[in-house]
Chain A
């Protein structure tokens, strides 16, 4: 084998290789992250009120779905352990732990792993360029994710997510959603932005953001084992609670409490833009 020759050019190229490394490759998202509730706190902590669909770009199919949804449905045995999807779970009270999985030979990042304490969800973001599964593959709460660096931003594409909710008061998300996440590091702060496209239930993409601060106590990752059981003796488990069209008893509760027009609480693309505030003000006069 010919011995390696280190010329002046090769040295220069080696230096170029190092200096031209994108800064993103040096971004380290690993560690424990605790959420701040600077955005949408009422929805995220106490939880959304019934028939408050405002600010979500739902279409009419989603609206009708949500109006027929009875909260009792979550009491059905098989719904009791249902958890948030990857498109929603970052809104919850959780501790987020991120770590890397590296190829032992090359030390390249194969995957970024995430554990969210709420509902014990593990999410893998593949960084090795693999393809997404075929259409016949099963869907999961966290879906199948692949990531890439856009500058210092980690951008993640996720498919194969289960049917869930865009808001946990009955607004459905379909099993056809497509999720793009951006994770942006600012010192000891992490901003997460998600863009959800749902060809079944959204008229426009749903964009949300959350902020996290680096945690010093990694022991906040609590466990959440869930085993469902029928808690109402004699009940018929095959009955599915729902409201027949036009009979939702909570239709006016939230809007009356906050003096809002009905259109505002029924959501839709228009209700997520700041200009809509003027319409609400006008309707209140």
Chain B
């Protein structure tokens, strides 16, 4: 018989109690606990229930939003290479139903389209069902995502055909009713790229923002792919218009950023304010006839650098300033 607390002799139990109360657990300062946590290996991915039908799957390189329900799984954005199996495994834990849709909020979240799509099937049935399962889930994006994936510059990796969007739209918004709620896929012209969408799960009250909102850095504005700071700001202001906080500017509508932690309206607000203020400073420099070098020397992002900036990696503060400068017509 396994000894449990209830089956221990009273004297033993009391002795244990007395020892615990006398000496207690080894005291640990909060700092020590933090140090211990820091030594632990960083998790590769994490799952956060947002609300309603929607979950956020966090990965170090970008978030995946998933709506689950009776109709299956609806996935927004696909993770970086090497993470698709782990993400599919997490989706399987959330739902045993097929992945029906995969939406790309931009070309930068298409890396594992093929793997995620192949794990599902489009909405169809009857005699077409078996064939459909081979085709994988429907991949939805703005037309420019498909265009850019199909017209890859020389020397860059050409995506497989099964990674390409199968359903595109070219203006306004695409609307899908899924898992008992409207899903609005709203095109954001000339924002992070020329093919961005913001996805709004209307009944769950959750927005998947894509890369117009990045909680880990200044917004990445890809000028070569048609991006512009003004479009990023329009998208952020649209998100603010949609959001309704629950109480005292907290909760209510939740926003899944392209990267980083789960947020609500206030987080988007501070981010929008920051991008606007930096835009205004660079605009002022351009009006005064300053060159890009002069504007960089004036450090228009200075007080935000410690939180959002970077001097290394794929998206540095210098690159952000340059992208804003070019967005505003700077030569």
Q: Kindly identify which residue among B22, B237, B245, B306 contacts A81, using a CB–CB cutoff of 8 Å.
A: B245
Q: Are B9 and A244 in contact (CB under 8 A)?
A: no
Smallest beta-carbon distance A157→chain B, Å? 5
**A139: chain B residues within 8 A (beta carbon):** 261, 263, 267
Classify the interface of chain A: helix, strand, loop or mixed: loop
Given that A81-B248, A157-B30, A226-B248 are contacting pairs, would A136 and B263 also be in contact in the complex, using a CB cutoff of 8 Å? no
Interface bracket on A:
35 or more
Taking CB atoms and an 8 Å cut-off, the chain B residues in 261-275 that contact chain A are 261-267, 269-270, 272-273
Asked whether A13 and B307 contact (CB < 8 A) given A5-B9, A134-B46, the answer is no
Q: Would you give the 0/1 interface string for B14-53, flagging 1 where the beta carbon is closer than 8 Å to chain A?
A: 1101100110100000100000000000010010100000
Nearest chain A CB to B289's CB is how many angstroms away? 16
| CB-based contact B281/A244 at 8 Å | yes
CA distance A139 to B277 in the complex (A): 23
Given A17-B18, A20-B22, A136-B56, check contact A73 B46 (CB 8 Å): no
Let me know if A17 and B21 touch, CB within 8 A. yes
**B265 and A240 contacting across the interface, CB-CB below 8 Å:** no
Q: For the complex formed, measure the closest distance between the CB of B121 and the CB atoms of chain A, giving whole angstroms.
A: 29
A200 touches B21 (CB 8 A): no
**Contacting pair A120 B254 (CB below 8 A):** no
- B48: chain A residues at CB < 8 Å are 134, 136-138
The residues of B that contact A238 with a CB separation of less than 8 Å are 233, 237, 276
Complex contacts, B69 vs chain A, CB 8 Å = none
| Interface residue B293 (Cβ < 8 Å from any Cβ of A) | no
For window 63-95 of chain A, which residues contact chain B by CB distance below 8 Å? 63-65, 68, 73, 78-79, 81-83
Interface residues of A in 84-127 (CB under 8 A from B): 119-121
| Interface segment out of the listed A27-35, A41-49, A174-182 | A174-182
Q: How far is the CB of B259 from chain A (nearest CB, A)?
A: 10
Which chain B residues border A229 with CB–CB below 8 Å?
none
Q: Number of contacts between A and B (CB, 8 Å)?
A: 133
Cβ distance A128 to chain B, nearest Cβ, rounded Å: 14
Is residue A259 within 8 Å, beta carbon to beta carbon, of the partner chain? no
> Could you tell me the distance between the alpha carbons of A7 and B10 in the complex, rounded to whole angstroms?
10
* Inter-subunit contact B266/A78 (CB<8 Å): yes
CB-CB under 8 A from A20, the residues of chain B are 18, 21-22
Assess whether A10 is in contact with B11, with CB atoms less than 8 Å apart: yes
Does B284 interact with chain A (Cβ within 8 Å)?
A: yes
Q: Does B303 contact A (CB under 8 A)?
A: yes
Chain A contacts for B58, CB-based, 8 A: 134, 136
Q: Does chain A have a CB within 8 A of B249?
A: yes
Q: Which residue of B lies closest to A201 (CB)?
A: B306
Would A162 and B267 count as touching, CB distance under 8 A? yes
B-side residues, CB < 8 A to A, are 7, 9-11, 14-15, 17-18, 21-22, 24, 30, 43, 46, 48, 56, 58, 233, 237, 240, 243, 245, 247-251, 254, 260-267, 269-270, 272-273, 276-277, 280-281, 284, 298, 302-307
Q: List 7 additional A-B contacts (Cβ < 8 Å) besides A134-B46, A136-B58, A139-B261.
A: A10-B14, A16-B22, A78-B240, A138-B261, A162-B267, A175-B307, A244-B284
Interchain residue pairs A-B with the least CB separation, the first 6: A10-B11, A136-B58, A65-B303, A64-B303, A13-B14, A240-B276
